Structure 1
Amino acid sequence: MTVNMIRYCAVTVILLISNCDGFRRAFDHDLYKNVLDPEICQKQLDILSNTNLGLLFLDASGKIPNGIASSNLNDLGDYYQCLGIDTHVNGTNIKGKYSAVLIPLNQEIQIPQLPPIPEIPELPEIPGLPNITLPPLPTELIKNHQDYSNLQRWAQIMAVGDDRVVVEKQDVNTRIFPMFIAAQGRAMLGICVPRVCTSTETVNYFQSRIPFLNFTFIEHYYRLPDDRPFAPADYVAFVIFSIIGVLTISSTSYDLYNVFGVKRRPNKMFTSFSVFTNTKRFLTFNSSPGALECVDGIRAISMMWVVVGHTYSMTLLGFVHNIQEVLGWMRLFTSTWVNSAPLTVDTFFLLSGILAVYSTIGKIGKRRFVRTVHLFYINRLLRMFPLLAIVILLQASVFNYVSDGPFWQNMAHATENCRRYWWSALLYVQNYVNPLETCLAHTWYLSVDTQLYIFSPLILFWLFGSRKFAWAALCCILLLSLVSSSAYSFIHDFSAALVQPNRIAEFADYMQTYYINTLARAPPFFVGMIYGYILHLYRGKKVKISRGVVTALFCMAFALMSFCVFSIYPVMQLDWTYQTFDNFLNAYMRSLWSLSLGWIIFACVHGYGGPVNWFLSLSMWKLPARLSYAMYLIHLPIIMIANSSWTQTYFFRNGHVLYRFVSDLTLTFIAAFILCILIDAPFSTLQKLLMGGGRARPQANNMKPESQPSIVEKTTL
Structure 2
Amino acid sequence: MNVKMFEKLLITFFLLIFIDKSASITNSNDFYLWNRLLNVSNETLAKIFLPNYIETDGPLFRNENLTEKCLTNLIYIRDSMFGEQRKTWAFRLFNSWPSSIIPVGMILGTMTDYGDYDQCMSIDPSDLIVKYCLIDMTIPMPMPRPSMHNLFHTTKNILPNEIINNKSMSGNFYYDLGKMSSFFYYSTIRKGICLPTDCIDKDIEIITEKGFGREIFDLKINKMICTTKQTKSWQPNNVQILSILFIGFFILMTIISGIYDWFIVKKKSNTITTCLLWFSPMSNMEKILSSKMDGQDLTCLHGIRVLSMCWIIMGHIIPFFDMNRFSHLFLLKNEIINIYSQPLLKGFYAVETFFFLSGMLVSYTTIRLTNGNYKNFRIIPFLLIRFLRLTPQLLAFMIIITILPPLFDGPVWQYRMQWMIDSCEKSWWKNLIFLQNLINSDDMCEPHLWYLAADMQLHWLSLLPLIFLLKNPKRGLLFKNSPPGAIVSSPGDFRVGNKSGKFLKFYDKPWSHAHVFLIGFIFGYHLRQIKPNHFHWTKWKTLMAWMTIIIGIIICIYDTYPWLSGLPYLPIWSALISPLNGLLWSMILTIIIFICITDPESFISKILSWSFFRPLSRMTFSVFLTHFLVIYVIRDSSRNLFHLHYPSIIMLNVSAICLAYSLGFLFTLLFESPIVSKIILLERSQSHLYRRIRLNVSPDDIAFALNLDF
> Shorter-chain TM-score: what band?
0.7 to 0.9
- Tell me, yes or no, if the aligned pair for 2:114 and 2:640 is still in contact at 8 Å: yes
Q: Which residue of 2 aligns with 1:702?
A: 697
Whether contact under 8 Å (1:425, 1:447) holds in the other structure is yes
Query: What residue in structure 2 maps to residue 493 of structure 1?
Result: 496
Q: 1:76 to 1:381 in 2, by over 3 A?
A: same
2:173 counterpart residue number: 137
Structure 1 pair 253–206 and aligned structure 2 pair: CA distance change class (3 A): closer
- Return the offset for 1:482: 2.2
After TM superposition, list the pairs within 5 Å mapping 1:197-236 onto structure 2.
197-201=199-203, 204=206, 218=221, 220-226=224-230, 230-236=236-242
Taking the aligned partners of 2:573 and 2:664, their CA distance within structure 1 comes to 39
Query: For residues 342 and 239 of structure 1, what CA distance do their matches in structure 2 show?
Result: 37
Find the counterpart in structure 2 of residue 97 from structure 1: 131
Q: 1:337 aligns with which of 333, 343, 347?
A: 343
Q: What amino acid does structure 1 have at the position aligned with 2:656?
A: D
Please state if 1:440 is matched with 2:446: yes
Post-superposition CA distance 1:135-180 (Å, at most 9, x none): 9533332552x42243x4xxxxxxxxxxxxxxxxxxxxxxxxxxxx
C-alpha distance in 1 between matches for 2:601 and 2:427: 44
- Structure 1 counterpart SS, 2:225: strand
Alpha carbons of 1:98 and 1:375: their partners in 2 closer, same or farther (altered >3 Å)? same
Paired residues of 2:323 and 2:329 also in contact (CA < 8 A): no
Describe how 1:240-319 pairs up with structure 2 within 5 A: 240-259=246-265, 262=266, 267-315=273-321, 317-319=323-325
Over the residues paired in the alignment, what is the CA RMSD in angstroms? 3.4
Confirm or deny that 1:41 pairs with 2:34.
no
Spell out, residue by residue over 1:232-278, the C-alpha distance to the aligned partner (whole angstroms, 9 max, x if none).
3312211211221222222222222323xx57778322211111221
Q: Which residue of 1 aligns with 2:106?
A: 68
In the alignment, is the contact (CA less than 8 A) between 2:531 and 2:597 conserved in 1?
Answer: no
2:197 & 2:398 partners in 1: Cα distance? 33
Residue 549 of structure 2 corresponds to residue 511 of structure 1: no
CA distance in structure 1 between the partners assigned to 2:486 and 2:210 by the alignment: 68
Q: CA deviation at 1:508?
A: 1.2
**Residue 661, structure 1, aligned to residue 653, structure 2:** yes
**Selected match of 1:416 from 422, 433, 439:** 422
Corresponding residue number in structure 2 for 1:86? 124
- Supply the distance in 1 between the matched residues of 2:592 and 2:303 (Cα, whole angstroms): 12
C-alpha distance in 2, partners of 1:57/1:68? 24
Deviates more, 1:520-529 or 1:68-77: 68-77
Structure 1 residue 147 and structure 2 residue 182: aligned?
yes
Partner SS state of residue 193, structure 2: strand
> d(CA) in 1 for partners of 2:262 and 2:686?
21
Q: What amino acid is aligned across from residue 148 of structure 1 in structure 2?
A: F
CA–CA distance in structure 1, aligned partners of residues 468 and 352 of structure 2: 24
Q: CA deviation at 1:659?
A: 0.7
Query: Quick one: which of 696, 709, 714 aligns to 2:708?
Result: 714
Amino acid at match of 2:198: V
Write out aligned runs for 1:610-649 (5 A). 610-649=602-641
Say if 2:710 is the partner of 1:672. no
Shift in Å, 1:629: 1.1
1:657 Cα offset (Å): 1.3
1:191 to 181, 186, 193: 193
Deviation at 1:547, TM superposition (A): 4.8
Instruction: Tell which has more relative contact order, 1 or 2 (C-alpha 8 A, sep 6+).
Output: 1
One-letter identity of the residue aligned with 1:339? L
- String of CA shifts for 1:486-508, please: whole Å, max 9, x gaps: 2x34xx625xxxxxxxxxx7331
For the pair 1:327 / 2:333, whether they are aligned, the reply is yes
Q: Identify which of 463, 466, 489 aligns with 1:460.
A: 466
Partners of 2:558 and 2:699 lie apart in 1 by 38
Using the size of structure 2 for normalisation, the TM-score is 0.77
Alignment match, 2:557: 565
Q: Tell me if the contact between 2:106 and 2:328 (Cα under 8 Å) persists in the aligned partners.
A: no
Do the aligned partners of 1:57 and 1:192 also contact (CA within 8 Å) in 2? yes
C-alpha contact 1:571 1:582 (8 A) present in aligned 2: no
CA distance in 1, matches of 2:336, 2:668: 36
SS at match of 2:441: coil
- The residue aligned with 1:23 is none
Shift of 1:373: 0.8
Question: In structure 2, the residue corresponding to 1:273 is in which secondary structure?
Answer: coil
Q: How many residues align?
A: 596
- Structure showing greater radius of gyration is 2
Pairing 1:368–2:375 present: yes
- Contact in 2 for aligned 1:292/1:715 (Cα 8 Å): no
The within-5 A match list for 1:577-596 is 577-596=569-588
Change (3 A) 1:78 1:539: same
Using the TM superposition, give the Cα deviation of residue 346 of structure 1 relative to its aligned residue in structure 2, in angstroms: 0.9
Measure the CA separation in 2 of the matches of 1:573 and 1:207. Answer: 38
Matched letter for residue 502 of structure 2: D
Q: Percent identity?
A: 21
Q: How far apart, in 1, do the equivalents of 2:140 and 2:128 lie? A: 35
**Which residue of structure 2 lines up, in the alignment, with residue 400 of structure 1?**
405
Q: Does 1:381 align with 2:387?
A: yes
Q: TM-score, normalised by structure 1?
A: 0.76
Listed one character per residue, the Cα deviations across residues 690-715 of structure 1 (whole Å, up to 9, x for unaligned) are 232699999843287987999x7427
The answer to whether structure 1 residue 356 and structure 2 residue 351 are counterparts is no
- Over 3 Å counting, the alpha-carbon distance change for 1:588 and 1:342 in structure 2 is same
What is the distance in 2 between the residues matched to 1:594 and 1:536? Answer: 19
- What is the distance in 2 between the residues matched to 1:431 and 1:257? 48
Q: Which amino acid aligns with 1:96?
A: V
> In 2, Cα distance between the equivalents of 1:187 and 1:541?
62
1:662-691, Cα deviation, whole Å (9 max, x unpaired): 111111111111111111111111222223
- Per the TM alignment, residue 329 of structure 1 is displaced from its structure 2 partner at its CA by 0.6
Which consecutive unaligned segments of at least 5 residues does structure 1 have? 1-36, 108-134, 153-180, 495-504
The verdict on how the C-alpha distance between 1:706 and 1:45 changes in structure 2, with shifts beyond 3 A counting, is farther
Assess if the C-alpha contact under 8 Å between 2:363 and 2:521 holds in 1: yes
The residue number in structure 1 matching 2:3 is none
SS in 2 for 1:363: helix
Which residue is 2:163 aligned to? none
Q: Which moved more, 1:543-552 or 1:235-244?
A: 543-552
Farther off after superposition, 194-203 or 276-285: 194-203
| Contiguous gaps of at least 5 residues in structure 2 | 1-65, 82-86, 142-170
Give the residue type in structure 1 aligned to 2:110.
N
C-alpha distance in structure 2 between counterparts of 1:289 and 1:556, whole Å:
30
In the alignment, residue 99 of structure 1 is paired with which amino acid?
C
Cα distance change, pair 435–149 in 1 and its aligned pair in 2 (3 A) = farther
Residue by residue over 1:363-415, the C-alpha shift from the partner in whole angstroms, topping out at 9 and shown as x without a partner, is 22644355x211011111111122221122212x1221221111212343223
Inter-partner Cα distance in structure 1 for 2:629 and 2:442: 17
Compared with structure 1, are the counterparts of its residues 191 and 545 closer, same or farther at alpha carbon in structure 2 (3 Å cutoff)? closer
Aligned match of 1:600 = 592
Q: Is the partner of 2:195 in helix, strand or coil?
A: strand
Q: Give the whole-Å Cα distance in 2 for the aligned partners of 1:703 and 1:474.
A: 28
Change in 2 beyond 3 A, CA 1:524/1:46: same
Partners of 1:709 and 1:687 lie apart in 2 by 12
Q: Secondary structure at the match of 2:392?
A: helix
